C-alpha cells in the first residue's frame, strides 16, 4: 500500500512538473548534467586507482582520490557563496547554461591531457559547476512548484538525481576501460555539456521568469484550515 501511494505521488508530481515548463526543462537539464558528471566521477576514480602513479605531492590511489575530492568540495563551497549573486544577475536559466559551458571547457581542456595536476583543476571547476547548477534548480523549483506538490516533486527530483548517477556508473562499467582512460569519452562528455547548456538557454530562456507560487490560505478563527 505504501509503495502504491508512493508511485501515485511520483506520478502526480510528474504531471505537476509537466504543466510547468520552467521546472520541466530544468529537471531535464540537470538530469543530463548529472549523467555526464557521474561518468566523469567514476572515470576519475578509475584513473586514480588504475592509471596514475605518484608524482611528488600528487598521489595516486586512495590518497589521490582524497585530493581530488577535496578540490571538488572546495569548488562546491565557492559555488554556494557565488551562486545567489550570480542568479540575481544572470537568472536561473543563463547561469546554469553558463556553468555547463564552463564544465564543457574544463572537461576537455583539463581532462584530455590526463595529468593529475590538471585533473585537480577539473575537479574544482566541475564541482563548482555541479553545485551552482543544483542550487539554481533547487531555487527555481521552490519558486515554481505549489506547496501542495512540493514534497512529491522533490521526491521525483531526488529519484532522478540518483537514477542518473547510477546509470552513469553502469554505462561507465560497460563502455569504458577499467583504467578510466578514454579520450573519446572526454570529448563526448564535453560536447554533451555544451549542447545541453545551449539547448537549455535556447528553449528555457524564451520562457517568462517563473512567478512564485500562490501562498497557502492563512488560517483564521472564523475559517479554520481544512485538511
Percent of the chain with pLDDT over 70: 85
pTM: 0.86
CA-nearest of 178, 56, 64, 163 to 119 is 64
Residues 99 and 76 sit within 8 Å (Cβ to Cβ): no
Percent of the chain with pLDDT over 90: 69
Mean pLDDT for the stretch of residues 124-137: 97
pLDDT at residue 3, rounded to an integer: 54
CA-nearest of 224, 216, 182 to 46 is 182
Cell of 118: 590538471
Residues 26 and 137 sit within 8 Å (Cβ to Cβ): yes
Look at residue 33 and tell me whether its pLDDT is greater than 90. yes
Look at residue 84 and tell me whether its pLDDT is greater than 80. yes
Q: How far apart are CA 102 and CA 90, in angstroms?
A: 15
* Residue range 67-78, pLDDT digits in tens: 999 999 999 999
Amino acid at each position: 500500500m505504501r509503495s502504491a501511494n508512493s508511485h501515485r505521488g511520483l506520478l502526480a508530481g510528474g504531471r505537476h512538473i509537466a504543466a510547468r515548463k520552467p521546472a520541466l526543462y530544468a529537471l531535464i537539464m540537470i538530469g543530463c548534467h548529472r549523467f555526464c558528471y557521474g561518468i566523469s566521477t567514476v572515470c576519475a576514480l578509475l584513473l586514480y586507482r588504475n592509471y596514475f602513479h605518484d608524482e611528488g605531492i600528487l598521489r595516486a590511489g586512495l590518497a589521490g582520490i582524497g585530493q581530488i575530492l577535496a578540490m571538488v568540495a572546495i569548488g562546491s563551497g565557492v559555488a554556494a557563496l557565488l551562486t545567489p549573486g550570480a542568479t540575481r544577475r544572470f537568472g536561473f536559466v543563463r547561469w546554469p547554461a553558463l556553468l555547463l559551458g564552463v564544465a564543457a571547457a574544463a572537461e576537455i581542456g583539463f581532462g584530455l591531457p590526463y595529468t593529475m595536476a590538471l585533473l585537480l583543476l577539473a575537479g574544482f571547476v566541475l564541482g563548482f559547476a555541479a553545485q551552482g547548477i543544483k542550487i539554481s534548480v533547487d531555487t527555481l523549483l521552490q519558486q515554481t512548484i505549489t506547496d501542495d506538490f512540493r514534497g512529491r516533486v522533490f521526491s521525483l527530483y531526488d529519484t532522478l538525481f540518483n537514477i542518473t548517477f547510477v546509470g552513469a556508473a553502469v554505462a561507465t562499467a560497460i563502455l569504458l576501460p577499467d583504467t578510466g582512460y578514454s579520450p573519446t569519452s572526454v570529448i563526448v562528455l564535453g560536447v554533451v555539456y555544451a549542447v545541453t547548456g545551449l539547448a537549455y538557454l535556447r528553449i528555457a530562456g524564451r520562457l517568462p521568469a517563473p512567478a512564485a507560487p500562490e501562498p497557502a490560505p492563512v488560517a483564521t478563527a472564523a475559517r479554520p484550515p481544512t485538511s
